[in-house]
Amino acid sequence: MKTIHATVTSAVKLSDKQLKKISETIKAKHTGAKLELETVVDPAVIGGIKLTIDAVEFDATVRGKLDRLHDHLLQQF
């Protein structure tokens, strides 16, 4: 049985409803696998949420968006 390690990072603690939504979507995508969901509260990300599933990361935090914007603008110059 495959185990999926996932980490959720946010600036404030997430509600149980939100956590449930996340774990259900992941389980639906990877049927028959066990899910280990870890939650991290990190005020440095300012807002939004970052989800890392195994080796893939979805960064929707304010910090992440600001950083991407920064790189993008510098490239333009």
Partner 1 sequence: MKKNKQAAAFSATLSSMIAPEAVSVQPKSVGKVISFGDGVVRVKGLDDIQASELVDLGNNQYGLALNLEKDQTGIVALGNAEHLKAGSIVRRTERILSVGVSDDIIGRVVDPLGRVVDGGPAINADKDMLLEAKAPGIMPRESVKQPLQTGIKAIDAMIPIGRGQRELIIGDRSTGKTAIALGTILNQNDQDVICVYVSIGQKRSSLAQTIEILNKQGAMDYTVIVAANASVSAAEQFLAPYAGQAIAEYFLSKGRDVLIVFDDLTKHAQAYREISLLLRRPSGREAYPGDVFYLHSRLLERAVKLNKDNGGGSITALPIIETQANDVSAYIPTNVISITDGQIYLEADLFNAGMKPAINVGLSVSRVGSSAQIKAMKQVAGTMKLDLAQFRELQAFAQFSSDLDDKTKAQLERGERVNAILKQGWDEPLKVEEQVTVIFAAVKGYLDGVAVENIGTWEIEYLEYMHTSHNELLTKIAKEKMMTEEMEKELAEAVENFNALHPEIATPQEA
Partner 2 sequence: MDIQLTQIIFQIINFGVVFGALVFLLYKPVLKIFDERAKRIEEGQKAAQQAIDAQENLSNMAAEAQKKLKKERASVLEKAQEEAKERAAQIIADAKAQAQEETEKSKKAWEEERRQLMKAARTEMAEAALKAAEVVTAGILKSDKKAQEKLIDAELEKMLKQI
Segment contacting partner 1 by CB under 8 A, of 17-25, 29-37, 39-47, 60-68: 60-68
Residue 47 touches which of partner 2, partner 1, none (CB < 5 to 8 A by kind)? partner 2
Residue 25 touches which of partner 1, partner 2, none (CB < 5 to 8 A by kind)? partner 2
Asked if 30 and 2 touch (Cβ cutoff 8 Å), the reply is: yes
Distance in angstroms (rounded) separating the CA atoms of residues 40 and 73 = 30
- Per DSSP, the residues of 19-70 read HHHHHHHHHHHSTT-EEEEEEEE-GGG-SEEEEEETTEEEEEEHHHHHHHHH
Is 39 one of the binding residues for partner 2 (CB under 8 A)? no
Is 77 one of the binding residues for partner 2 (CB under 8 A)? yes
Is 55 one of the binding residues for partner 1 (CB under 8 A)? yes
Is 59 one of the binding residues for partner 1 (CB under 8 A)? yes
